[in-house]
Amino acid sequence: MKKKNNAAVPSAPPAPLNRRTFAFLLDWYLGSAFSAVPVGILWNMQTGEEVINTDITLFESPYGWLAGVLGLLFGAVYYYVVPLKVWRGQTLGKKLMDIRITGEDGNPLSAGSLALRQIVGVMILEGSFMLTGQYVLQMLNMLTKGAIGKGPGYLMLGVFLISAWMVCKGGKAVHDTWAYSKVVCGKQ
């Protein structure tokens, strides 16, 4: 229980796995679509094609770098700015599933903890299935001229699988452990 105005208020219950999973799937799709917007526009401007390309390594230099950075910035707006400024502790997927991110104490996360959770954890290290994670891998390959191979991708997949296992076992993903956060039901 946490105290509010000197009265004990029950803590919000942990988010059920089914709602958390569905919110993840919604956020995976919506966050990827949002981060693809600048990349697709740059590709269309550069090539005149009407298809949306998300492989930034196919761009002429230096536009691949620009596309990657803009894709990551758009992803950060969805995964970080929205839960920080628009719907406190909620992405659109979490809002639709009526769950939210809080600190372990039930209070809102600080901007730094939310950045650690959402940008470093969700978008990058656990981003093997996220378009933002693919942009990071493609930029690493561009930086090293392909010398790093597939190792970082396998590492990201491993972190994602460990995180998914942790959620199923105890309700806290790797990014929740790092940021001292949890995902709970309901309004705050």
Mean pLDDT of 29-51: 92
CA-only gyration radius of the chain, Å: 18
User: What does each C-alpha distance from 176 to 45, 58, 67, 112, 170 come to in angstroms?
Assistant: 39, 35, 29, 13, 11
3-state DSSP call for residue 130?
Answer: coil
Greater confidence, 129 or 71? 71
- The pLDDT assigned to 8 comes to 42
**With the CA atoms of 131, 156, 171 and 10 taken in that order, what torsion angle do they form, in degrees rounded to the nearest 10?**
-60
Tell me whether residue 176 is in a domain: yes
Number of residues that make up the chain: 188
Tell me whether residue 65 is in a domain: yes
- The pLDDT assigned to 9 comes to 46
pLDDT higher than 70, residue 1: no
3-state DSSP call for residue 24?
Answer: helix
How many independent structural domains does the chain possess? 1
Tell me whether residue 4 is in a domain: no
Exposure string (b/e) for 95-120, b if CB count within 10 Å is 16 or more?
bebebbbbbeebebbeeebbbbbbbe
pLDDT higher than 50, residue 178: yes
Tell me whether residue 8 is in a domain: no
Q: Are the CB atoms for 91 and 82 separated by under 8 Å?
A: yes
Domain that holds residue 169: 13-185
Query: By percentage, how much of the chain surpasses pLDDT 70?
Result: 93
12/46 Cα distance (integer angstroms): 49
pLDDT tens digits for range 43-101: 999 988 888 889 999 998 899 999 999 999 999 999 999 999 999 999 999 999 999 99
